[in-house]
Structure 1
Amino acid sequence: MKAAESEVPDAHFTVDKQNVSLWPREPPPKTGPCLVLRKPLTVRAAVIILTLGLTASVLLQAIFYPWFMRTISDVKTNAQLLKGRVDNISTLGSEVKRNRGSVEATGIQVRMVNASLDHMRSQIEKLEAGVKKADAQIQILTRRWEEVIDLNAQIPALKRDLDKASSLNAKVRGLQSSLENISKLLKRQNDILQMVSQGWKYFKENFYYFSRIPKTWYSAQQFCMSRDSHLTSVTSESEQEFLYKVAGGLFYWIGLTKAGSEGDWYWVDNTPFDKDLSARFWIPGEPNNFGNNEHCANIKASSLQSWNDASCDNKLFFICKRPYIPSEP
């Protein structure tokens, strides 16, 4: 029985969509009565199973195939969309890379702008401080201007007072000038009195000393020089008249001399010698240089023409002359 079952060939089938093929197709070998009975049952069962499977497969294909195809189509569509998005993303990535440099440059510019803004903020703060200071100064100037307005209102009265003060100042200056002149006159008189008390006589800004002891002409000059003076010079008729009147007819040396017989007359105090003026003061016939030794001049007579030349070694009274110099205050 086992041998008979082992010799029965297996049934195989394939399903190609809606076609069913069974193989082998050759007729089964002839067997005994039991085998003949079993084989149709087995084949029938297999055919039923295959039919059911095929039916189920057809049903499943009829139901799921359209859905599966739609799904595949959707997947393809989504894949294309994703590919487009990936391409867009790639494009955006390249643009991002290109823009990264611009962003960095923009960042540098932003930092520079921030630095400029900080500097401007600092400048603005300084300007605000300057404005506050200017406001304070404007307030001060405003107060000063108000004070100036008040002073301008007072100007007419001040001008009247100033006119009065100017008039008073003029009077005061006049009085001061008068006092200064009086002070100078008093000082002058005091100086003159001091010199007069010492034996000097005053005449037209000069002091004259008429000696009471006779000396030679040279000794007389030395004496005068010890008194800050010289033997007198004569520069005008009024001075000549003053001298001969005070001399009173006595002989007095004056400061007129010459160097030798052929020399020119000159004043010992370096006053320029006026030959024409002096010609009116000589006694008629003088100077005659009697004995070729009369090189010094003296006053001999009480008259305008009173000069005489004499020997410098004669001893005569003499007249010293010194200019008036105001003493220190």
Structure 2
Amino acid sequence: MSTLFSIRTLFILIIIAVIAIIAFFILPVSIPIIIALITAMFLEPLVRLLQARAKLQRNLSVFIVFLLFLTSIGIVGYFLTTKVITEGINLVENAPSYINEVNRVWRDFQSDMNNASEDLPPEFVTEISMQVDKFLYELRIYLTDLFNIQNIKSIFTNIPNYLVSFIVYLIALFLFLLDMPRLKAGLYSHLKEETAAKVKFMSSRLSYVVFGFFKAQFLVSVIIFFASLIGLLFISPELALLMAFIIWVIDFIPIIGSIVILGPWAIFHFITGDIGLGTQLSILAVVLLVIRRTVEPKVMGSHIGLSPLATLIAMYLGLKLLGILGFIVGPLLLIAFNSAREAGIIKMNFKI
């Protein structure tokens, strides 16, 4: 019978909607466990490969893979932490000189404005002065709120929570790796043979696409990181690694981009009179933007099969509904829907 939705499809959609509503409230407090499950899915092929090649039992293979993963996190974390903290200290130590430079430029600007305003109407000069004072006052209030002691205190007071979440993540990851075959068997035991075959196809397709999604994001972020690092080594070697790391973190969020860091940085040097450095930073910002806009659609399309428009919409809706986590969850839900449709679990063949 040709209908827009069959009863079975409608039932599946209702179940998906209920799961989505429940997930909307559970996801924000389950981030460590969810990330652990996703990480376990990525590490599962390595466990199976080690079992097949080295003829080891699963428990030993899981322990080796988990230990290698933990060692990698430790090495990368130590390197980034020590380097970022070192360059951050240098930045803080040089902050007074930056502030003095801004004050000098501001005094020169006021002197130039006073000389230029001698031939201007008093009302115009008064209005300009009021707007400049208003801007500086709002900027001071914003910076005071941003760097007040309460915000800094909240960061340090949340460190135990972050540590607990990280420990929960590691424990959950290890347990997921151990129980992955049993979890899959338990899931398939509740399905009919035909449905189980479709779910297996969907899961294999979903695993491939999800891996491609994260691989694509990682490849793009690596390109951005090294491009910014190479550029900054020529522009500002003393801050190269710190700023490249910050740009990499910010640029991983597609809607924001590296311009958020490089733009104000370039404007600061333009204001302080260092036109050359400001121009170099502006060129680097444009280069990074061109690289992302050129590379990202091709990498995404080749690895996950989603158009850039569909990826952008999924990320934006995920951001609005789930916050930062939605940048990842949004495209994953779209990928899961497409995989279910390819597997025949969801059928939406209709014409109007």
Question: Could you tell me the TM-score, scaled by structure 2's length?
Answer: 0.19
Structure of greater Rg: 1
More helix by share: 2
Greater strand share, structure number: 1
Structure-1-length-normalised TM-score: 0.20
